[in-house]
Structure 1
C-alpha cells in the first residue's frame, strides 16, 4: 500500500516535469535520484518507524517543541527584510534575532525539522505548518524580486587617524574572531584608549554570548571604570570596580589580569583595584562569539574614543611585564590607514574587523534572492570584509536552501522547489562573474567565508531539475587548496575551523556522484580518515574551540569547556553515511554509532520544554565539564533540531540491486521494504540492552547482513528460529545470512557489552571507560583529572542502577544521559 507521503513524493516528480511512471520508486530515496555509484542505499525516512526507546524519548521532546512553535516567528526576519508585515511576531532570537548577521539560518533548520518530523510521523500539524512557511517565504521572495536593482547607500567608512582607529560611538566597533578567549583559565587584556566622551556603561571591551554570560571592562559605571565577569547575569558578576573616573582627551592604558583566583585592574601601570576571590575565568564563558571592542552585550552606549593598541595574553602578567609585552594571542596596533581590517601582529593571524554601521540596503542584483537581510553581506564578502562585520552569508543561504529542498523532497511541496531554484539561479548570477582567485580568497576567510554545504545543496538541485548549470555553481564553492591537500592525502587540518570545512566534503561526494571527477570522492574519504582516526574524542566529537587541533593530539586539546561542537558531529555523521553508500564497510558505521549513541544522544537534555529546544552547543570532555542546554538561534541549536528527528535514517540500508539488507544499527524500529514486499521489525532497548530481535513478515530471498561492531569481539551471536548460527564476519565487517525468508522468521542477535578503556593517542595514561559502544563518564565536579586504578575496566563494580559502575566513591554513568551534572569523560591512570 502506498502511503499518503509516498503519493506526495511521486507528485513532486511530476511537479518538475518528470512523469511519475518514468521514475521507479527504487530509483529515488527521500525524493532524490539514487546515484549510480552507490552500492548501498538508505530507505526513505517514512519507510522506517521507530519503536519506543531512548531515541523516541529524545525525538518526542523536540517534536513537542516544534508543535508549539509559532510559525510567524520563523518568518519574522524574512518579512521585515522584504518590507512585509511581520504580523507582530518576534524573531527566534539568539543569533537569529532582529539585527544579527546570521539571521535566517535557524529558520532554515526549522524547515528541515518540520519536513523530517512529517516524514517520520505523518502528523498533519508538521506539514500544515511547513506549507504555511513555504507560502510566506515565496511572498518574501516575490517582494524582493520587485526591488531588483534598487540602489543602496554605502556605510560610512572607518575613521583612521595618525593615532589609531577613531570610533564614533554610533554603531561602530571592532569585532575579534570567535575563539579569541576560548578555553583561557588565565589571561591579561591590555587596551590603550583616548576617550572622547565618558559615556556611562560604554565598553572598552566586552566578550561573551549575551548579557548573562560575558566579561567586560566599562570605561565608566557612573563613578569610574569597572571590570566584571559573569555566567549568571549582572547578579552573578565578579567585579573589580574603581571609584575614580578616567580622563577624557588623553591617552590611558587599561589592563586586567586574571589568574583564576585574583583579578587586578591597572590604569597606566598602577594597580587601582583587585578582587582576591574570583573563581570565573574566560574558559567559563564557553565559546563566546561576541568578542567586541567598543560595543556592549547589553546594548549600552557605544565607545566614543580613539583605540591605539590592544593585547591579549594567555597568562596573568606581572605589573612589570605589562608595559613592555606584546600579546601572544592577539596584538592589534591599529596603525592601518584605510579599510575595515585590523591586522593581528601576534603571529596567530587572527585579524579583527571594523564594523562601521549599516548603510541603506540595496535591492537584489538578480531575481530569486531570498534572505532575512539585504544582499549587503554578500557584496561585502566579495570585497573581503571579515567577520564579524559580516557573518557567513552563504552559510545562512545554505540553511535556507536546504530547508526548502527538504520541504520539497520529503513532503512534495512544489512551491518549495520553485523558491529554492530561484535562489540557486541568484547564487549563480553572483558567483559566475567572479574569477577563481577571488572565490578562493573569499572561502579562505575565517567565518565570513564559511558556506556550509552550498556545494551539496546545489548538486542536489541539479539532480532534481536536470539543470547542470547548478553543478557549475556548486563547483564555484571548491575550497581549492584544502581540496587539493585532501586529494593528495596531505593533512593540513590543524588550526582550521572544523565546521566551516566538514560539510564541504559532503558536497564533494555529491559532485562525484554526478560525474564531476573521482578526486572529489578521494578527498572526502581521506578527510574522513584524518578526522576520525586522528582527531576524535571518546564520544565521537571533534575540535577544540570549534577548531581542528593537531593530528593525534587528543589529551593535549582537552582545554576548558569548548570541545566537540555539536554541529561538527552532525556533519561528520552525514559524511560517514554517504561514504558508506559508496563503500559499505562497517568502519563507517562504527564511527556513526559511537557518535550517535554518545554525543548526539547526550546533546539533548532529558527534560520537557515547549519554549526551548534544550540542545547543546558543545559537548565537552574536560575534567568537571558540564553540558549547557538551550541554544535557541545558534548554529548547534539549528542542527540540534534536526539531529533528533531523523534517528531512523541510517538504521537500515539495502544493496543497490535489492538483494541484501544491511542492518547497521540495532535501534528498535520497523522497516517496510516495499521493493521486496517485506517488513522487518526490530525489537529491544538498544543501547540500554545488548541484544535485538528481528522478525520477518513476507516471503523473499535476500542476504541479511548484520553489522558486527568493532567493540563486540567474539561475543557476537546469532540464532535464527532458535538455531544458533555460525557467525562469519566478512572483510566489510558484516555477517551475512542469505536464505529464503518467510513470514514469522525470527533472528535473535546478542552482542554482550564488555568494559574496556580507550587511551588518548598522545597520553596513554589518560583514558576513557566504555561499556560496549557506550562511553561512561565519572560524575565529579573536580576540575582536576581523577586518578583511578590503572586497570580501570577490571576494578569497577556494577553500580546501584543499570549501566552504572563504581570504583571507590566514584560512579560512572552512560554519557547519553542528558543532564547538567559535572562529569569526567577521561580519567588518569594511577601510577
Structure 2
C-alpha cells in the first residue's frame, strides 16, 4: 500500500457511517451508467437549493488520505478526543441554575464571567459534528450527543423561569468630577483595537482613590494572565506598571515605592518606546526601567482593555476616574499635564448613561460596565444561553460594547453547533433545541421596528450577530416553517446591504468578521426565495474583498477591520493583519457563490487561502490541551504567529477549519452528470449516484501532481480545475495517454467519456516561482511557488530585498525551500513561531 493510500477498512467505515435518517441515499444509477433523476435532495443534512448548479458532497462521502491536511486535522482530533463535555456545558448549567458538576468552563472569552461565554462551546459542538461525519469515530458521536442532552436540560431549566423579571444592575454614578467606580464589578471597557500595533505610547490617568486596594488596577489591557500590561495602584509598596507576553514571570516592570494618596486627585502616567519606560506620579518621575523592550504592539490584538478591572480577578478599583488619555509617542513631564490624547481622550464629564465619549477625533467611545444585577428569567421558553437574557435586553436599549458583547453572535454559534449536530450527527433533539431558540429569537425581534433593528446592528461589536440570518434560513429549510425566513430578514444590515446590492464599496473601516458572515446568510436567504438582491449583494461584496483587500496568503483586514480598497502595502505594518475568523467565513462565501455560479476564480481564492493562511493557522506540534491555532496571521516585516487561543472566536473557528478539509475537494453538477475536482487533496470520493469511487493520490500541495483512479463504470464529464498559476504547463493523461487540454471560461478542463473500472487520470500542474505585487505598491511583492506563498525567515523588522531576477532565487537544501542573498524562503504553511517576511522590496 502506498503512503497516500486510504485503508480499505477506512473506506468501509466511511461507507457505513450515517448522518441521520434524514439523509436517505439516492437511487443508484442505471446499469448502463446513466444517472437517474436523483432522489437525494440533501447535502450534509440540508436541502439542496434549486438555484445550485454545483453541489458539494456529504462530509462522510469523502475520506482524506495521508497528507499535510490529515496531519493538521489529526492534531485537532486529538484535542477533541480529550476535551471534557462537562467543561463545554459548565457555563450553560451554571446560568440555568443547574449543578455544573465542578467542571471548569473552557476559559478565555468563554470563562465563568465573560460576556461572550457560550460561543466557544458552540464551535466545539460543530467540531464534534464534523469530526464524527468525517471520521466515523464513536467517541465524537458520544460526546456530541452528551452535549446536546445537556443543552436540552438547560433549555428546560430556563423554561421553568419564564416571566421572572429579576433586578436591574446598579446605575453608573457620575459625581465628584468624574465616574465613580464602586469596586464591585464596575469598570470601563475600551474598544478592541485601542492599543493595537503601538510601538511607542504614553498612557495618562487622573483619579481620586477612595480605597487603596492591593493589586487593584487603574487599567489593564491584555488577553488574560499571560499577555497583558497593567497599572496597579498598589502592590503593598506602591504603584507598579508591568507588561508581559509570558505571564507574571516575564513581566517588565516599573515599580514605585511611594504610596498613592487616598481621597485626593492624582495623575499617573506611563511612557514606553521599546527601549525604556518611565512612571510618573503628578508630573514627577516615580520609577524607571531602562531595559523595557516590550511595547503595546507585543500584545497582539488585546480584547480586554479595561479601566478598573484586573485580568487576574483582583479587587475592583474603588475610585473616581476623571481623565484617561492615550498617545502614540513618548511625552515629556510638561506635556503630560497639558495635552489631550491623540488616540483616546476620555474626560468623564458625562452626567448619566453608560457611554464615555472620546474627544480624540477617532470617536472611540468607551462603555461603563455597571455589574450584573439580579438575572432575569427568559421571555420565552425556547431561550438558551450561557448567561441570562440581560445582554439581549440591553442591546435593545443600545448599550454599547463591552458592557455587552455581541449576544446574537454567541447565539449564532450555539444554534450553528446545534444544527450541525442534527444535520451531520443525526441528533433530532438538537433540531428541537435549535427550533426553540429560533422561536425565542423571533419572539424578541418581531416586536421591534425596523429603525430599532438598524440601530442595534450598527453598534460596534455589541450589534455583531455572526450568521444569525444563515441559521434562521437553515432552520426554515429544515422545518418548513417560513416564519424563520422572516426572522432571518430581521437581521438585514440594511445600509450595507443596499450599498453592496448597488455595487457601492463602503467597506473601509468596517469590522471585517462582523460583516462577512452576514453575506453568507444573504445567500442562504436568496436560496430560500427571499429575493435576488441578497445574491447580488453577496456577489458584489465578495468582489470588493477579493482581490482588492486580500493579502498574498489569502487573509484580509488589519486590526479586524477592512481598510481602503486596493490598500495592501499601506496596511501590512504591525501584527494584526488577517484575522483567522475572517478567512474562515470568506471561504464559506466563496464556496457558496461557486454552487450558484461554478467559476474557477472562486477556487483560485479558496486554494490560496486554504493552503497558506488556513494550513499555517495550526502549529506543527501536538497538544491535547491547547488548540494551538492562530488569531491573527500577520504579514508585516519580521512578523511572528501566536498559537493558542482557547476560548477566542478564532480559537473556535480554528477547531472547525481543520476538521472539514474534505468538504470542498469535489462538487457534482445538479444533474449528476459532471464531477468538479476543485482541489488536488489526496482523498477518496464515494459518488453513490454514479456508483463510482474516485480516489485521488499525490502529496498536494507539497508536490505538483495528482492521480485520479476510477472504481466503477459510469458516463460523466470530469471537470478538472486549472489553477490560474498553472495555465502554462497543465497536462492531463488518461490511462497514460496525454490529452489536449482546453480550459473553458470557467477555469476547468473537461473530459467527457464513459469511465471504466481502473481508469486513471494523471494531472500535472507544475510549480514555478512567480510574484504577487501589492496593488498600491508594485515594488512590494510576495514570492510564490505554484499556490504556495513563500516567506523569508528573518528577525529584521525592516523590509528586505527581493532579487529583480527570480533566477537568482535558488532551490534550498530542503524540499520547497529556496535561498537568495543569505535569506531562506519557506512555504507560509509551516506552522512555527519563527519571524518571517511575506512581502519584500523588488527593484
Classify the TM-score, shorter chain: over 0.9
CA drift at 1:659 = 1.2
**Among 679, 684, 706, which residue is 1:692 paired with?**
706
CA drift at 1:6 = 3.8
| Mapped contact 2:24–2:40 kept (Cα < 8 A) | no
| Counterpart check, 1:821 vs 2:812 | no
CA distance in 2, matches of 1:494, 1:325: 30
Larger mean CA deviation between 161-170 and 422-431 belongs to 161-170
| Counterpart check, 1:253 vs 2:267 | yes
CA drift at 1:824 = 1.2
**Among 277, 294, 298, which residue is 1:284 paired with?**
298
| Mapped contact 2:91–2:112 kept (Cα < 8 A) | yes
How big is each residue's C-alpha offset from its partner over 1:439-491, in whole Å with a ceiling of 9 and x where there is no partner? 11111111111111000000000001110000010010001111111111111
Larger mean CA deviation between 748-757 and 622-631 belongs to 622-631
Per the alignment, residue 299 of structure 1 pairs with 313
CA drift at 1:29 = 0.6
How big is each residue's C-alpha offset from its partner over 1:770-798, in whole Å with a ceiling of 9 and x where there is no partner? 1000011111112222234233x321111
Matches within 5 A, 1:337-352: 337-352=351-366
Give the secondary structure class of the aligned counterpart of 1:74. helix
**Among 424, 427, 443, which residue is 2:457 paired with?**
443
Give the secondary structure class of the aligned counterpart of 1:584. coil
**Among 163, 170, 180, which residue is 1:149 paired with?**
163
**Among 754, 763, 780, which residue is 2:777 paired with?**
763
| Counterpart check, 1:506 vs 2:506 | no
Give the secondary structure class of the aligned counterpart of 1:402. helix
Per the alignment, residue 205 of structure 1 pairs with 219
| Counterpart check, 1:468 vs 2:482 | yes
CA distance in 2, matches of 1:246, 1:8: 65
Give the secondary structure class of the aligned counterpart of 1:769. strand
| Mapped contact 1:5–1:411 kept (Cα < 8 A) | no
**Among 265, 277, 282, which residue is 1:263 paired with?**
277
Give the secondary structure class of the aligned counterpart of 2:122. helix
Per the alignment, residue 824 of structure 2 pairs with 811
CA drift at 1:823 = 1.2
Per the alignment, residue 114 of structure 2 pairs with 100
Per the alignment, residue 561 of structure 1 pairs with 575
**Among 48, 56, 67, which residue is 1:42 paired with?**
56
CA distance in 2, matches of 1:506, 1:154: 36
Matches within 5 A, 1:68-87: 68-87=82-101
Give the secondary structure class of the aligned counterpart of 1:622. coil
Per the alignment, residue 516 of structure 1 pairs with 530
Give the secondary structure class of the aligned counterpart of 2:193. helix
Give the secondary structure class of the aligned counterpart of 2:268. strand
| Mapped contact 2:23–2:45 kept (Cα < 8 A) | no
| Mapped contact 1:9–1:31 kept (Cα < 8 A) | no
Give the secondary structure class of the aligned counterpart of 1:714. coil
| Counterpart check, 1:407 vs 2:413 | no
Per the alignment, residue 17 of structure 1 pairs with none
**Among 8, 32, 46, which residue is 2:20 paired with?**
8
- Structure 1: give runs of 5+ residues left out of the alignment: 14-22
CA distance in 2, matches of 1:708, 1:4: 33
Per the alignment, residue 233 of structure 2 pairs with 219
CA distance in 2, matches of 1:483, 1:324: 45
Matches within 5 A, 1:275-424: 275-424=289-438
Judged with a 3 Å threshold, the aligned counterparts in structure 2 of structure 1 residues 12 and 160 are, in CA distance, closer, same or farther, namely farther
Matches within 5 A, 1:171-190: 171-190=185-204
How big is each residue's C-alpha offset from its partner over 1:699-736, in whole Å with a ceiling of 9 and x where there is no partner? 11111111100111311111111111111111101111
CA distance in 1, matches of 2:263, 2:778: 58
Aligned residues: 820
| Mapped contact 1:660–1:705 kept (Cα < 8 A) | yes
How big is each residue's C-alpha offset from its partner over 1:588-612, in whole Å with a ceiling of 9 and x where there is no partner? 0000000000000000111111111
CA distance in 1, matches of 2:638, 2:728: 35
**Among 627, 632, 644, which residue is 1:613 paired with?**
627
TM-score normalised per structure 2: 0.96
CA drift at 1:272 = 2.9
CA drift at 1:274 = 2.2
Matches within 5 A, 1:54-65: 54-65=68-79
CA distance in 2, matches of 1:278, 1:204: 20
Per the alignment, residue 695 of structure 2 pairs with 681
How big is each residue's C-alpha offset from its partner over 1:556-605, in whole Å with a ceiling of 9 and x where there is no partner? 11122111111110000000000000110011000000000000000011
CA drift at 1:765 = 2.0
How big is each residue's C-alpha offset from its partner over 1:601-635, in whole Å with a ceiling of 9 and x where there is no partner? 00011111111111111111111111111111111
| Mapped contact 2:520–2:538 kept (Cα < 8 A) | yes
CA distance in 1, matches of 2:144, 2:307: 41
Give the secondary structure class of the aligned counterpart of 1:706. strand
Per the alignment, residue 51 of structure 1 pairs with 65
Judged with a 3 Å threshold, the aligned counterparts in structure 2 of structure 1 residues 687 and 290 are, in CA distance, closer, same or farther, namely same
| Mapped contact 2:19–2:45 kept (Cα < 8 A) | no
CA drift at 1:808 = 2.7
CA drift at 1:343 = 1.2
Per the alignment, residue 668 of structure 2 pairs with 654
**Among 63, 80, 85, which residue is 1:66 paired with?**
80
Larger mean CA deviation between 1-10 and 577-586 belongs to 1-10
CA drift at 1:323 = 2.4
CA distance in 2, matches of 1:789, 1:9: 59
**Among 792, 814, 834, which residue is 1:778 paired with?**
792
CA drift at 1:375 = 0.6
Give the secondary structure class of the aligned counterpart of 1:8. coil
**Among 114, 124, 132, which residue is 1:118 paired with?**
132
CA distance in 1, matches of 2:804, 2:796: 19
Per the alignment, residue 599 of structure 1 pairs with 613
Give the secondary structure class of the aligned counterpart of 1:26. coil
Give the secondary structure class of the aligned counterpart of 2:589. helix
CA distance in 2, matches of 1:70, 1:204: 36
CA distance in 1, matches of 2:100, 2:257: 46
Give the secondary structure class of the aligned counterpart of 1:112. helix
CA drift at 1:11 = 6.6
Judged with a 3 Å threshold, the aligned counterparts in structure 2 of structure 1 residues 330 and 594 are, in CA distance, closer, same or farther, namely same
CA drift at 1:4 = 4.2
Matches within 5 A, 1:567-582: 567-582=581-596
| Counterpart check, 1:799 vs 2:806 | no
